[in-house]
Structure 1
Amino acid sequence: MTTLFAPTPTAAPATGPGTSRRTRLTLARRLVRPESVLLVSGAALVPWLYVLARTLPSTARVGHWNVAWVGLDALEALGLLSTAALRRRGDDRHRLTAAATGALLVVDAWFDTVTAAPGGELAAAVAMALCAELPLAAVCAALALGRERRTVRDDRPLTPGMRPTRR
């Protein structure tokens, strides 16, 4: 993994017939950086968005609509519960689940509002987005981006025989 993020060498090693397969793979990993792949992929999506906007129908009949929404909400519940459990244990991996859950909540708010019928259904979707989904997404974002949790052990060394206390 460290070879993916190692600085690119100024002079590339020879890749002739005498170089090993491992050396060639290491060189390929250094030349194909994750940032480059992400940049090219993101840029390639821009014209695709135009194609989608011009060719997709504005309405569609969808099978298993209920399964899609139940699945999304189940993933949100799992994300919220796992984030809470990891954070309660003091595990910094809660940042990962918080980031994913926050993204799911924003997606849910978006699709709830854009797929709602005008009138009461749209009002309910906007209310849910503003009062539940987006505030929870903000909490998740704050947890994902926040500082590491400090414990008593981080503050000062414990003296043998003394119990740790919270401030």
Structure 2
Amino acid sequence: MTLVAPQIRTSRSPRAVAGVAGALRRPRLATVLTGAGLALVPWMVVLARTLPQTTQVSNWSTAWVGLDALLAVGLTGTGVLLRRNDPRAAQVAAATAAVLLVDAWFDVTTAAPGTELATALTLALTAELPMAVTCAVVALRKP
């Protein structure tokens, strides 16, 4: 004769139990991320005081072409996913909006005074920032 243990039934499904475990870890993750963000503040002060105003950079063109390639992939991917009504378009659009803001920031802040700065500002105001807003709207819209 075999002893059979009674089955214990719970009202929580395995998915619900996993959700509870995730909820318990969420405050810890929030604390780590908040701490990391706050730790950057004194680091920014150090950088502001110690970095030179100008510098020579290796692979300058590679950095800019790489950033523009990332934008091309993000914008194209967002468009393709939107056309397919794929909900992943929101995540791609959000990332692309962030990269567009970074691109505008670095275009303007690294431009030489004069025509180069005027061109960078014009591109930021007429192309990069409006596209970033467009991508943000896509990212925030209800599916």
- In the superposition, the TM-score normalised over structure 1's length comes to 0.72
Q: 1: CA distance between counterparts of 2:92 and 2:84?
A: 14
Spell out structure 1 runs of 4+ moving beyond 4 A.
none
Structure 2 runs not aligned, ≥5 long: 1-17
Match of 2:65 in 1: 70
Amino acid at match of 1:123: A
2:101 alignment partner in structure 1? 106
User: CA deviation digits over 1:69-101, x for unaligned, max 9?
Assistant: 000000000000001111111111101110110
**C-alpha separation between the residues in 1 aligned to 2:141 and 2:27?**
31
Residue 5 (structure 2) pairs with residue 5 (structure 1): no
Q: Name the Cα RMSD after superposition.
A: 1.5
- The answer for unaligned runs of 5 or more in structure 1 is 9-29, 149-167
1:96 aligns with 2:96: no
Q: How many residues align?
A: 126
CA apart distance, 1:4: 5.3
Corresponding position of 1:151: none
Q: How does 1:1-167 map to 2 (within 5 A)?
A: 2=19, 5-6=22-23, 8=24, 30=25, 33-148=28-143
Give the structure with the higher percent helix.
2
1:25-52: CA deviation from partner (whole Å, max 9, x where unpaired): xxxxx38621111111011111101001
Percent identical: 56
Q: Normalized against structure 2, the TM-score is what?
A: 0.83
